[in-house]
Amino acid sequence: MKCRACSRPAVIDIRRHNTAFCQDCFVRHCRDQVERTVHAYDMFGPDDRVLVAVSGGKDSLALWDILLDLGVRADGLYLGLGIGEYSDASGRYARDFASRRGAKLVEVDIPTTFGFDIPTGAPAARRTPCSACGLSKRHLFNQAALDGGYDVVATGHNLDDEAAVLFGNVLRWDLAYLGRQLPVLPADDGFARKVKPLVRLSERETAAYCVLKGIEYIVEECPMAEGNRHLGYKGALNDVEVRSPGSKAAFYFGFLERVAPLVETHATEQRADLHPCPECGSPTVSEVCAFCRLAEKARRNASRGGHPPETDSSTEHR
Amino acid sequence: MKVLLRNPSREIEVPGPLRVHALLERLDINREAVLVISDGTLVTGDAVLPPEVTVEIRPVISGGAL
């Protein structure tokens, strides 16, 4: 197989584009896709300060690398989740990358800062680990961006992530979530601007980008995520994709073009009820925000030796 | 050839030569969900893997909390 751009031997084939690239042309392809996405959705400008949510995985490190190569003023933020060796290794990959690129990495360790960790905090608040983790990430990335004076938070959500989330939201016809499943969420009172510059790249492409650029990342899946619903959706979509290449992209970009404008109002309706959390000041529709409730329940549970807490099934997802 | 698999990490022997696509089909692995790395080099689906190489089949699917 030959590179479509230069006819040298290819190292990766991308079936949804019916194409293949050599190493140099593939790296350029990834960079072009991100640049095109940033411009198409007006994600940020040349003077904006960007805070990249960095996990030590392939997507966030690929994103940070590409943004730095594009000359974006991009710092990283790593959250220590307290998931044993997995968190230790993830943090090392994030720090090593930052050091190698001479980039600034901000770190927030949840156990030392907030007094709980995800493995014990999640059951204390009657949440799945992924729910507690996602909630903590959204809250703390937003807070760090506001505190640090960043113009925008960039996350490594790729095409597969977005297609899988869309699939789940469609299965439940969750119009409020569908209404805000966009590549850009504008800044608002208490909310930093959030962008997803990798939505034109599949996770196979972001992994290949890291391999070809020599970026070391944590390959192992998070031990808390095993068997979760989101991974099941990805598997189902890949079963479709392998028979019909381009299906995931058609599903997601078709939604953005034809359906998202129709459901946008469902997201804004919920926002009318937002007020500041009395504990931390973050916007919430509840009396106390979901993160402060999670932290409080986790700490209370730890202090009494891990007995089962009361139920909290509510979510706040932005 | 020696084939390294993950989740859980294990190593198996598969007789070569074999094309990448054929190897993935034989192992019942969706080609959209992995990269194939032969002796440290990323390879395309039509590449022929000789018997003496070490092949890593690296999963690319990730994601719990989003």
C-alpha to C-alpha distance for A191 and A268, rounded to whole angstroms: 14
pLDDT class of A221 with cuts at 50, 70, 90: confident
- What residue segments make up the domains of chain A, in order of their start? 31-215+227-310
Task: Please report the pLDDT score of residue A317 as a whole number.
Answer: 36
CB contact under 8 A, A235 and B30: yes
CATH architecture of structural domain A31-215+227-310: 3-Layer(aba) Sandwich (3.40)
Amino acid, single-letter form, for residue B48: V
pLDDT over 70, % of chain A: 94
pLDDT per 10-residue tile (average), chain B, 66 residues: 92 96 96 96 96 96 66
Task: Please report the pLDDT score of residue A64 as a whole number.
Answer: 98
Using one digit for the tens of pLDDT, what is the confidence trace for A190-208? 999 999 999 999 999 999 9
Domains recognised in chain B with CATH numbers: 2-59 (3.10.20.30)
Please name the member of B6, B7, B63 whose beta carbon is closest to the beta carbon of A230: B63
| Shortest CA gap B40–chain A (Å) | 9
Surface of A (48-67) touching B: CB under 8 A: 57-59
Which ipTM was obtained for this model? 0.95
Taking the model in full, what pTM does it have? Answer: 0.93
Task: Please report the pLDDT score of residue A315 as a whole number.
Answer: 36
Q: What is the mean pLDDT of residues A256-276?
A: 85
Surface of A (80-139) touching B: CB under 8 A: 129-134, 137
C-alpha to C-alpha distance for A42 and A81, rounded to whole angstroms: 32
Task: Please report the pLDDT score of residue A225 as a whole number.
Answer: 87
